[in-house]
Structure 1
């Protein structure tokens, strides 16, 4: 992590990251787009949205998070020690503050290929991962690249106190919803589904429960058995939840304590469950290549539809 109040000398990882940023100055990249006539995009729509993705801390001392409720998409990933971390995608609106911001993982690089050269805000990365970040088709935005955009909250203990002010970054939102940009369609519900009151997803050392609230028309989020809240104290809720069953395997990278980082495979196909408006739907997910968007279809082959609002993707071990 990096402190801006004291300007402490950087670690070897920080030096490597600074070299990365310098190298990126000469890099160019782009994305692919899908045909607007395709019912299921084989590549991301990407030409419209400009996505700001922020890696957000999700252990107890990091809660409640700030600005998470304003994201278009919330991705939940497993990290070291069986814990979880969040990657939030912003495009239709930018909150004034987001955080706490934490370090990137290899999983993020493949996941973000669905968007057209997104901006990735993160606190740092394992030194050996830096070349992969440099080669990825995204714009990295660590504190060294935009020091005025980051600040430390002195009311919280490090490393759970680094925050981002999106308005002070080079990122400019287009107002297009990131979920629609990768092919999700907000429309009337498809036939079928089973009435449910909630669903729980467990990681080795983390737990997420989504409970349907007919009054609020949302799936209220609980983390590790406690109601999740916004920084203002309101309940955190999602319009839709996708529990996507994937392969989670060891990566080639380790954290600073020597723990192997998990890698979540988001390219391929498999089963998923979509929670929408008090029902759950069995669906199939398919993403044939890293440059493709994830397609979600019902067992009958129909394209899954979503209720307007924030969408959560929770990656669970199949």
Structure 2
């Protein structure tokens, strides 16, 4: 992951000169500074990055599942709407690997568009055959408790199905690829150069709404991060840390009825992960309207400004909120 720099140096001519001709001093061109290597999913500088793949883990987000374990160490967390209008997380780990992650739950069809661009495995409890097949068809390796893969365990402190956890190192050891992921977003060199900081409007908080949950994000200038809450209550990890991120990206998305059915016979909602739509990018206590686009399931999301330039995020962690255009909303508090 080290990026080599080219050093260009000029040299003096070795040809003889005529008597009386003034000597010309050799010109030296300064070497081009070497680019600082960074973690691909956070843009944070790293001295010696370990060559390992990213791993995505499906994590429950209900009252019975909170506080979750390991979310505070994810590079990227995607929040998606599932049955009943509640949400689940797809948490992506690469630069940091917590010992344990969970509670782990089942796959959904939109996970293909989240995991496929990463190139690494998706960890799940299981899932409907229809959804398992669609995610595998996108080229995603599934590591599943129901399939008998190693690394999972049940906690005696909670009731099933909210008690399935995974040992991340053991789960990751089963990955079929070893290459690190490509960058999923564009990052500024420093937080002060993030697009929202340079061109956005001040904001103190974001208030989001899904049909059955209303997460929020409040800017903490001292911490230099957005801090998450669940309906006004601080969202904390099992370790007692308030969940936070340097960037919050809100994507307004279409949600359609999939061919799968839940236990009551209703259609399982599917977030459409390709196409284009409105977005809102929050970094550094400021927000910037943007446009998201994604040509295929295998391609990362692209964020662009009104002028068509790539949006540069602050180096650090990012939470992506997949908010339905017809059953959700976002309010910005100044």
- Any stretches of 5+ residues in structure 2 without a counterpart? 1-50, 326-334
Sort the Cα spacing of 1:248 and 1:85 in 2 relative to 1 into closer, same or farther, 3 A.
same
CA contact (8 A) 1:126 1:255 kept: no
- 2:225 is the alignment partner of 1:207: no
- Quick one: which of 63, 76, 85 aligns to 2:79? 76
Q: What is residue 225 of structure 2 aligned with on the other side?
A: 218
| Paired positions, count | 268
- 2:61 is the alignment partner of 1:54: no
DSSP 3-state at the match of 2:134: helix
1:131, 1:192 → 2: CA distance? 43
- Quick one: which of 63, 66, 82 aligns to 1:63? 66
DSSP 3-state at the match of 1:272: strand
* Greater shift in the superposed pair: 124-133 or 226-235: 124-133
Q: What is residue 7 of structure 2 aligned with on the other side?
A: none
Q: What is residue 89 of structure 2 aligned with on the other side?
A: 86
- 2:131 is the alignment partner of 1:124: no
- Quick one: which of 229, 236, 254 aligns to 1:229? 236
Structure with more of its chain in helix, by fraction: 1
1:36-51 → structure 2 map (5 Å cutoff): 50-51=53-54
User: Highest CA radius of gyration, 1 or 2?
Assistant: 2
Sort the Cα spacing of 1:148 and 1:114 in 2 relative to 1 into closer, same or farther, 3 A.
closer
Quote the offset at 1:285 in angstroms. Answer: 1.0
* Greater shift in the superposed pair: 65-74 or 256-265: 256-265
Q: What is residue 183 of structure 2 aligned with on the other side?
A: 181
Deviation per residue, 1:246-304 (Å, 9 max, x gap) = 11111111123323211111211111000101000011111122222211111122211
- 2:291 is the alignment partner of 1:284: yes
- Quick one: which of 194, 201, 221 aligns to 2:201? 194
DSSP 3-state at the match of 1:61: coil
TM-score normalised by the chain length of structure 1? 0.79
Q: RMSD of the TM alignment (CA)?
A: 1.9
- 2:153 is the alignment partner of 1:151: yes
Sort the Cα spacing of 1:197 and 1:91 in 2 relative to 1 into closer, same or farther, 3 A.
same
Quote the offset at 1:115 in angstroms. Answer: 2.0
DSSP 3-state at the match of 2:254: strand
Sort the Cα spacing of 1:222 and 1:59 in 2 relative to 1 into closer, same or farther, 3 A.
same
- Any stretches of 5+ residues in structure 1 without a counterpart? 1-47
Sort the Cα spacing of 1:192 and 1:79 in 2 relative to 1 into closer, same or farther, 3 A.
same
- 2:101 is the alignment partner of 1:98: yes
